[in-house]
Amino acid sequence: MRTVEEHLESVLAAIEPVAEEVLPLDQVHGLVLTRDVVSDVDLPRFANSAMDGYAVRATEIADITPEHPRSVPVLGDIAAGDGARHTHREGSVWRIMTGAPIPEGADAVVRVEDTDGRPREVLISHAPEAGENVRPAGDDVRAGDVILRRGTRVGATQLAILASAGVAEVAVTGPVRVVVLSTGDELVPLGEPVGPGQIHDSNGPMLVALIRAAGGTVVHTGHLPDDEKVIKKTLDHHLRDADLVITSGGVSKGGSYDAVKAVLTGTGSMEFAEVGMQPGKPQGFGLLGKRRVPLFTLPGNPVSVLVSFEVFVRPALARLAGRRHTPVTVPAVVQQGWSSPEGRQQYHRVRLTRDAAGTYAAAPVGGAGSHLVGGLAMADGLAVVPAEITQVATGAEVPVLPLRPVEEIEADLAASTDRDTTAASSGQPPSVRGSW
Ligand code: AMP
Ligand code: MG
C-alpha cells in the first residue's frame, strides 16, 4: 500500500499543464498567463483631473487665500471624454470634471469645494500647488512596463489592468476540459424516476460542481452501464479531445461487475493502487490514448469520491491549469473522539463550531460509511488523521480541510451566535432580525 503523499506525487509527476491558448479577455478569468504582458500605453493615458473643479496655472493665482478670495473668468467646461484640444489662457480657468483631460498650459485643479462653483466667473478661495489634483500621464504604468508576469492567475483586478491598457487578448494555459463519467447499471440520471434496485447518480452532479468551483471546464457528463464494450468505446471517444477524464465506480477488488477496472487494466500507463487512506483506498490513475490524457478512476461511494477529489484530483486540476494547489487546513479541537484505522490516513467528516475559547471545535457528523451522503452534506470539513494514529482523543487538536469557503463557515457561526444571543436575551425563539 502506498501513502497518500506517494500517490499524489506520482500523479503530479505524470501530468503537465495543458497547451497555451491566446484568448480574448472575456474568456480568461481564472486562467494562468503563460507570458509576461507589456503595456503599449501610459496609464493614465493623458494628464487628467482628480477632482471636479477648475483647471488653473498655479503661479497665476498664488496670491489667493481663504481670507482674500478672487474671481476669475471661466473659459468653459471640460467633461470626462471631451476629445477637443483645450488650452489654458492666462488669467482665466476651465471648469473641469474628474477624469477630463487637463488643458494645455494648466498645471493644477482647484476643487469645486474651494470655489463658489459658478460656470462663467468663479470665486476661488484656495491657491493650489502646481500638480495638485492632477493625475499625470504614466503615473501608474509606463508604456513598455510589464503589467502582469507570466504565471499570474487572472482574477478581477488583473482583468481591470488588462482592460485599462487596452489589451484585447492574452496567452494563457488553456481551460482544462474535463469529462465526468458515472458508471453502474444501477444509476439513473438526475430528474428521472428510479425503479426497483436503482439509485440516482449523485457522484456526477457532485463532481461537476467540484470541478467548476476548482476552475475546470466540464465539457461532458455521462452515465455508463457496467458493460466493458460501451465503457471502452465511450472512453476512446473522449480521449480524443478531453484534457482530463474522471470516472466513478466499477473499480473494486476486481469483481465481475468492476467493468472500468477490467477495461483499463493494462492500457496506457494505467495503475490501480491501494492507497493508505480512509475512505478512498482503491485509486486508479494513468495517461491514456495518443494524447496521453490523464484519467482518474474514482471509487463509487460518494464520500470516497469527494475525498479522492480533494486529495488527488484538485491538485491535478491545478497542475493542468498551470497552477499549484496547496491545501490549507484550519486547526480544531476534537469535541468527541473517534477511532481511526491503523496504517491509513483518515479523512473524517466533521462539523465546526466554536468552543468557549473562541477556537474551532470539531464534532464528527454522520456515520463512518462512505455511502452516507446525508452526513456528508452536513460536514464543514474533513479532519485529517495521520496513518499512525488509531485513536483521536477528545480535546486533541486536528487539522481540518474545509469543504466550503471558510468565510461561509464563519458567517454561519456568526449567525448562530446572533441567534443564541437574541434568544437568550428575549426569551423568544430565534427570529430574523433587521428593519426597513
Ligand atoms: P462500485 O465501486 O461501482 O461497486 O460502487 C460502490 C458503491 O457506490 C455502490 O453502492 C454504488 O451503487 C455506489 N455508486 C457508484 N456510483 C455512484 C454514483 N454515481 N452515484 C451514487 N452512488 C454510486
Ligand atoms: Mg458499480
Q: What is the fold of 48-135? A: Molybdopterin biosynthesis moeA protein; domain 3 (2.170.190)
**In 17-59, where do the E strands start and end?**
20-24, 37-38, 48-49, 53-56
pLDDT of the residue at 355: 86
Name the nearest CA neighbour of 264 among 249, 242, 284: 284
93: which 3 cell numbers?
Answer: 480657468
pLDDT of the residue at 356: 85
Query: Residue 119 burial by CB count (10 A; 0-12/13-18/19+): exposed, middle or buried?
Result: exposed
Q: Which CATH class is domain 31-40+141-173?
A: alpha beta
pLDDT of the residue at 381: 98
Measured by CA distance, the residue closest to atom 17 of ligand 1 is 300
233 CB contacts (<8 Å, ≥6 apart)?
A: none
CA 280 / ligand 1 centre spacing (Å):
13
Atom of ligand 1 nearest to the CA of 299: 2
Phi, psi for residue 409 in degrees, rounded to 5: -60, -45
Tell me the C-alpha distance between 232 and 110, whole Å: 75
Question: Which CATH architecture is the domain 4-17+175-320 placed in?
Answer: 3-Layer(aba) Sandwich (3.40)
Per-residue pLDDT of the chain (436 residues; tens, 9 = 90+): 999 999 999 999 999 999 999 999 999 999 999 999 999 999 999 999 999 999 999 999 999 999 999 999 999 999 999 999 999 999 999 999 999 999 999 999 999 999 999 999 999 999 999 999 999 999 999 999 999 999 999 999 999 999 999 999 999 999 999 999 999 999 999 999 999 999 999 999 999 999 999 999 999 999 999 999 999 999 999 999 999 999 999 998 766 779 999 999 999 999 999 999 999 999 999 999 999 999 999 999 999 999 999 999 999 999 999 999 999 999 999 999 999 999 999 999 999 999 888 899 999 998 888 999 999 999 999 999 999 999 999 999 999 999 999 999 999 999 988 887 776 665 544 444 334 3
33: which 3 cell numbers?
Answer: 498567463
pLDDT of the residue at 189: 93
134 close to 111: Cβ distance less than 8 angstroms: no
pLDDT of the residue at 425: 62
| DSSP state for residue 61 in the 8-state scheme | G
CA 297 / ligand 2 centre spacing (Å):
12
CA 301 / ligand 1 centre spacing (Å):
5
- Ligand 1 pocket check for 279: Cβ under 6 Å: no
CA 176 / ligand 2 centre spacing (Å):
27
- Distance between the two ends of the chain, CA-based, in angstroms? 61
Tell me the C-alpha distance between 376 and 281, whole Å: 18
What is the CATH number that goes with domain 330-426?
Answer: 2.40.340.10
pLDDT of the residue at 430: 41
pLDDT of the residue at 433: 39
- Ligand 1 pocket check for 221: Cβ under 6 Å: no
What does the domain layout of the chain look like in residue ranges?
4-17+175-320, 31-40+141-173, 48-135, 330-426
- Ligand 1 pocket check for 186: Cβ under 6 Å: yes
CA 381 / ligand 2 centre spacing (Å):
27
Cβ density class 198-237: b for 16+ within 10 Å, e for less: eeebbbbebbbebbeebbbebbebeebebeeeebbebbee
373's enclosing H/E stretch is helix 373-378
pLDDT of the residue at 257: 78
- Ligand 1 pocket check for 199: Cβ under 6 Å: yes
pLDDT of the residue at 434: 39
Atom of ligand 1 nearest to the CA of 282: 2
